[in-house]
Amino acid sequence: MMQVGQKLRDKMASGVVLGSFVMEFRTPAVPIVLAHAGMDFFLVDTEHGWYNPETVRAMMDVGGREGICPIVRVPTTHRSEITHALDSGAGGLLFPVIRTMDHVREAVEASKYAPLGRRGMHMLRPHTNFLPPTDKPAYCAEANASLLTILQIETVDALGQVEAIAATDGVDMLYIGPTDLSADMGHHGGLDHPETMAAAARIAKACAAAGKPAGCHVERPDQIAAALEMGFSMIGYAGALRLLMSGAKTFCDEALETIAAAGK
């Protein structure tokens, strides 16, 4: 399962990756559809979405099979929640609402194997395809290098120390949550607000200085262009539910126009 995480890393090193957030949908068919649409990753949101470990496990499995990198947004740095996601085969973890450097260190410790972190060791699990490695030190080093430990910058506290966060060993990339960050900054403008755009530029610059990729969540194509110009190489495009709503509206509008044209 490490291959999909490394594949995403490799593509970001020379280009841009596109993906979407998954909430509400509990069928593994959704990652397959996103993969067929051309997306590089999908993110199962267990912070805002209602998912049990079995469902997450099934979606991680299909992601690995389809070659689309599965990422899980975990609501906390609680060890058992992170272990469930990692042992299920997640290629990356997104940690939301970062506020302090202690929180940063907790995320690294929970997601990386020793000596970098303190991730639990159990090798007869889906993340090894139930084939325990014979060389555990080599496996742990490879897993640490391929797994994406992503910290979400969506608070003023995190923004104020974003350079130190980006430079932390074991932090692989930063991801801006523009909606929450803009609210925490005292407005609700998202990426359309100048202050949020300035914050996004600072985050991208901090990642570039640390030699790490930066991710940005967008809702419209014009926001993608702005994110690319600032240097973001991971684009989280809306969410699967929003994509369904948009597609359904387009299909229904076309159907209703055909019906009206027929005078019915």
Q: Which domains does the chain have, with CATH numbers?
A: 2-239 (3.20.20.60)
Banded model confidence at residue 90, pLDDT cuts 50, 70, 90: very high
Q: Do 129 and 1 touch, CB atoms closer than 8 A?
A: yes
- The one catalytic residue in 36, 48, 78, 187 is 48
Residue 187 designated active-site: no
Which tens digit of pLDDT belongs to each residue from 114-173?
999 999 888 888 888 888 889 999 999 999 999 999 999 999 999 999 999 999 999 999
Using CA atoms, how far residue 179 sits from 79, 110, 130, 189, in Å, is 27, 26, 40, 7
Which tens digit of pLDDT belongs to each residue from 157-175?
999 999 999 999 999 999 9
Residue with the two structure tokens 């609402």: 97
What is the amino acid identity at position 42?
Answer: F
In this prediction, residues 26-42 reach a mean pLDDT of 95
Strand 41-45 relative to strand 214-218: parallel, antiparallel, unpaired?
unpaired
Supply the DSSP string of 93-155, one letter for each residue: EEE-S--SHHHHHHHHHHHS-TTT-------SSGGGTT---S-HHHHHHHHHHHSEEEEEE-S
